[in-house]
Chains A and B, each alone.
Chain A
Amino acid sequence: MAKTNSMHHEPLIRISKRDGMVWWKGWLVRAAAIVLALLVCAVLIVFITGVNPLEFYASMIRGSFGSARKLWLTLQNTAILLCIALAVTPAFKMKFWNTGAEGQVLIGALASAACMIWWGNRLPGWLLLPMMAVVCMAAGIVWSVIPAYCRAKWGTNETLFTLMMNYVAMQLVSYCITYWENPAGSNSVGVINPNTFGGWMPSLFGQKYLLNILIVAALTLLVYVYLARSKQGYEIAVVGESQNTARYIGIDVKRVIVRTMVFTGAICGIAGMLLVAGTDHTISINTVDGRGFTAIMVSWLAKFNPIVMALTSFLIVFLERGAGEIATAFRLNESVADILTGIILFFIIGSEFFVSYQINFRRAHKEAGIKHD
């Protein structure tokens, strides 16, 4: 008997799924991961530059809160990132891996720039801005529905399709820039309508970003209600859990896929408009600047909850701006921000494992023996 026991091989570590962690414990694990990541980043920066680690954290905080202007920029960046994250969330919830938010936002931005250039000085603002919103949403929808339709109809791989659409959008923007460039030969568009402000989104109470932030706040509520309270949101959740179940209870899965991607495309289009008409007042292929990809992480980190996404997008923006500040303060190449963001993301991504799984170490041999008999 004892012999069979000793021959029985039980691995040192066994991993099993948790039934579900108390929510505050889960957040404790994630917070610990972020603290750990910040420690690693500080060690790295201290190693490269030899500065005092406290100075490292101080400049990180200065990057986001150092002045009123910086605070507004932080809020503005959070709003834009949150907006794109809101757009990708419904699709992710039904396990449609849309990596094309970058292109969908960019095409919305392109539509917005086109409206400003063509009609900015001809139409009054009260007519132009709603029209622009419609055109931008339509552009975003075109970019998102093509892959969604192919996925629904033929099962085309949506991750790769939407990824390729990003580059088609970028080339389209480059194409338009050659027509719109100002001054000629600069290969950039320059500020559109700098004197007439045609097509610019208005400032509220003297704050030029306030309108953006309010629009995104409204969208956050809308997406939250849509996902948590509406019939369509419920259908998305069912399709995400199991397509077979969805079919069994009579949900038209193909219709849900296309409809949800229309929703995604529309919000991406709005994000593009907020970027061009509300922030940059110009367009380039770097207008979206990777936010389409970062938004995927924002949404995933928040477990697809729009309210929590406000926090996670603020966190990411805080980290990025802090890393940017460190780069300037210590005269480092600005790419250091990407490195720090990458490290922090690795830690957060890894921490999810400890939230959803538990590690069981091999129990004392004697106890195990009794169990197996």
Chain B
Amino acid sequence: MIEIIASFVKQAIIQGIPLLYGSTGEILTEKSGNLNLGIPGIMYIGGIAGVIGAYFYEHAVEVVNPFWCVLIPFVCSVAGSMLMALIYSFLTVTLRANQNVTGLALTTFGVGVGNFFGGSLSSLFGEGGSIALNRTGACFKATLPFADKLGLFGETFLSFGFLAYLAIFIALAASWFLNHTRAGLNLRAVGESPATADAAGINVTKYKYLATCIGGGIAGLGGLYFIMDYIGGAWTNGGFGDRGWLAIALVIFALWKPKASILGSILFGGLYIVYLYIPGLSRASQEIFKMLPYVVTIVVLIVISIRNRRENQPPESLGLSYFREER
């Protein structure tokens, strides 16, 4: 029994990590007042950019060096997803386009780019077949050397690749940044009331751009983790599924607090796979169980709006473009 629970917790964490990256990135973005519905697309880009980087590296050298093997996809992934977030920021902040429309277009574009290059990268560059970057995947999956000597505890909590721990670290760092630094305070001010922040001398445009781009970069790592660590370096079209939207749901569930989203991500990861662990479920009731993360999010959304406590609300100006000369 204890083994089953331990394996469930481990799987829940594995499923939760991409969501944690996505939601930490989206929290930073939303704190600046930008509701970036392009996160699912950005996470696809994060995955495929890493794949492209690793593909060229693996084909350029005979023997892979684990250091480059991790660094190149990592940098590609962050750069690709930051570029996507830059498109979003340019359109919504500089050109003041509608955030919902821009975000949805970004998702269409990102998923398209991901599936296009994922499906035809090897045929574009002369070889057929699908992509399998096992060597890169192995580097990303590498765990602490003593993890398997610590029994069940090591198996459950220490058997992940480095990206899993990085996700938790980034979430903690984001939480500290938002609540304990001057820049974090300014960022929150921008998201609550850009006009007030502007009057106080805060550069609203700069904060919106930086928060959205860095947030996008973090979210993209979720895609990288999924492809390299969870899948082990192979790309399947649409394999990432609806995890991007779940990450946005997790932002609400965590009440815009990165620390809360760590536990939230594990819970969501658990809800995502719980149907595999309940014995005797028919296929039909499995589908009902897969509804759980979304239903839970809806319930949370309603409850926070009924209780109406100020510290649990979305940023006041979320979804609105700011134009100084607007009355």
Residue B53 CB within 8 A of the other chain: no
Q: Which of B104, B282, B291 contacts A297 (CB 8 A)?
A: B104
Residue B174 CB within 8 A of the other chain: no
Q: Assess the A156–B102 pair: CB atoms within 8 A.
A: no
Q: Assess the A342–B294 pair: CB atoms within 8 A.
A: no
Residue A167 CB within 8 A of the other chain: yes
Per-residue interface assignment for chain B, residues 270 to 298, with 1 indicating a CB less than 8 Å from any chain A CB and 0 otherwise: 00000000000011100110110011011
Given the interface contacts A161-B301, A179-B284, A335-B112, does A350 sit within 8 Å of B91 by beta carbon?
Answer: yes
The smallest beta-carbon distance between B216 and chain A, in angstroms, is 15
Tell me which of B9-17, B56-64, B145-153, B318-326 binds A: B318-326
Q: Assess the B109–A338 pair: CB atoms within 8 A.
A: yes
Residue A296 CB within 8 A of the other chain: yes
A: contact size bracket: 35 or more
Tell me which of B68-76, B162-170, B302-310 binds A: B302-310
Q: Assess the B104–A293 pair: CB atoms within 8 A.
A: yes
- Majority SS of interface residues in chain A? helix
The 4 A-B pairs at the shortest CB distance, nearest first, are namely A338-B112, A342-B109, A335-B115, A353-B95
A-B contact pairs, 21 of them (CB 8 A): A17-B323, A150-B301, A150-B302, A157-B252, A164-B294, A164-B301, A167-B242, A171-B291, A172-B287, A172-B291, A178-B284, A300-B101, A333-B115, A335-B114, A335-B115, A335-B119, A338-B113, A346-B87, A346-B109, A350-B91, A353-B94
* Complex-state Cα separation, A280 to B301, whole angstroms: 35
* Complex-state Cα separation, A161 to B112, whole angstroms: 25
Q: Assess the B326–A97 pair: CB atoms within 8 A.
A: no
* Complex-state Cα separation, A346 to B103, whole angstroms: 10
CB contacts (< 8 Å) of B319 on chain A: these are 97, 159
CB contacts (< 8 Å) of B105 on chain A: these are 297, 342, 345-346, 349
Q: Assess the B108–A341 pair: CB atoms within 8 A.
A: yes
Per-residue interface assignment for chain B, residues 64 to 92, with 1 indicating a CB less than 8 Å from any chain A CB and 0 otherwise: 00000000000000000000000100110
Q: Which of B284, B302, B323 contacts A175 (CB 8 A)?
A: B284
Residue B177 CB within 8 A of the other chain: no
Residue B157 CB within 8 A of the other chain: no
Interface residues of B (CB under 8 A from A): 35, 37, 87, 90-91, 94-98, 100-102, 104-116, 119-120, 124, 237, 242, 245, 248-249, 252, 282-284, 287-288, 290-291, 294-295, 297-298, 301-302, 305-306, 308, 314, 318-319, 323, 325-326
Interface residues of A (CB under 8 A from B): 15-17, 48, 97, 99, 150, 154-157, 159-161, 163-165, 167-168, 171-172, 174-175, 178-179, 290, 293-294, 296-297, 300, 332-333, 335-339, 341-343, 345-346, 349-350, 352-353, 357
The smallest beta-carbon distance between A125 and chain B, in angstroms, is 31
Q: Assess the B101–A297 pair: CB atoms within 8 A.
A: yes
Known: A160-B301, A338-B108. 7 other contacts (CB 8 A): A99-B37, A161-B301, A165-B294, A297-B105, A332-B120, A335-B116, A342-B110
CB contacts (< 8 Å) of B301 on chain A: these are 150, 156-157, 160-161, 164
CB contacts (< 8 Å) of B287 on chain A: these are 171-172, 174-175, 178
CB contacts (< 8 Å) of B306 on chain A: these are 154
Given the interface contacts A339-B113, A339-B116, does A178 sit within 8 Å of B95 by beta carbon?
Answer: no
* Complex-state Cα separation, A335 to B114, whole angstroms: 8
CB contacts (< 8 Å) of A350 on chain B: these are 90-91, 95, 97
CB contacts (< 8 Å) of B294 on chain A: these are 164-165, 167-168, 171
- Look across to chain B and name the residue whose beta carbon is closest to the beta carbon of A343: B109
* Complex-state Cα separation, A157 to B119, whole angstroms: 37
CB contacts (< 8 Å) of B245 on chain A: these are 163, 167
Q: Assess the A165–B298 pair: CB atoms within 8 A.
A: yes
CB contacts (< 8 Å) of B305 on chain A: these are 150, 154-157
The smallest beta-carbon distance between A326 and chain B, in angstroms, is 12
Given the interface contacts A163-B248, A178-B287, does A342 sit within 8 Å of B108 by beta carbon?
Answer: yes
* Complex-state Cα separation, A213 to B116, whole angstroms: 33
The smallest beta-carbon distance between B130 and chain A, in angstroms, is 12
Given the interface contacts A97-B100, A154-B306, A349-B101, does A17 sit within 8 Å of B249 by beta carbon?
Answer: no
Most interface-central of B94, B288, B302 (chain A CB within 10 A)? B302
Q: Assess the B91–A349 pair: CB atoms within 8 A.
A: yes
Most interface-central of B114, B245, B283, B314 (chain A CB within 10 A)? B283
* Complex-state Cα separation, A332 to B123, whole angstroms: 10
- Look across to chain A and name the residue whose beta carbon is closest to the beta carbon of B108: A342
Q: Assess the B109–A353 pair: CB atoms within 8 A.
A: no
* Complex-state Cα separation, A333 to B288, whole angstroms: 33
Given the interface contacts A154-B306, A293-B104, does A17 sit within 8 Å of B298 by beta carbon?
Answer: no
* Complex-state Cα separation, A171 to B107, whole angstroms: 21
Q: Assess the B112–A154 pair: CB atoms within 8 A.
A: no
* Complex-state Cα separation, A171 to B294, whole angstroms: 10
* Complex-state Cα separation, A341 to B106, whole angstroms: 10
Q: Assess the A336–B116 pair: CB atoms within 8 A.
A: yes
Q: Assess the B108–A293 pair: CB atoms within 8 A.
A: yes
Q: Assess the A16–B325 pair: CB atoms within 8 A.
A: yes
Q: Assess the A335–B100 pair: CB atoms within 8 A.
A: no
CB contacts (< 8 Å) of A97 on chain B: these are 100, 319
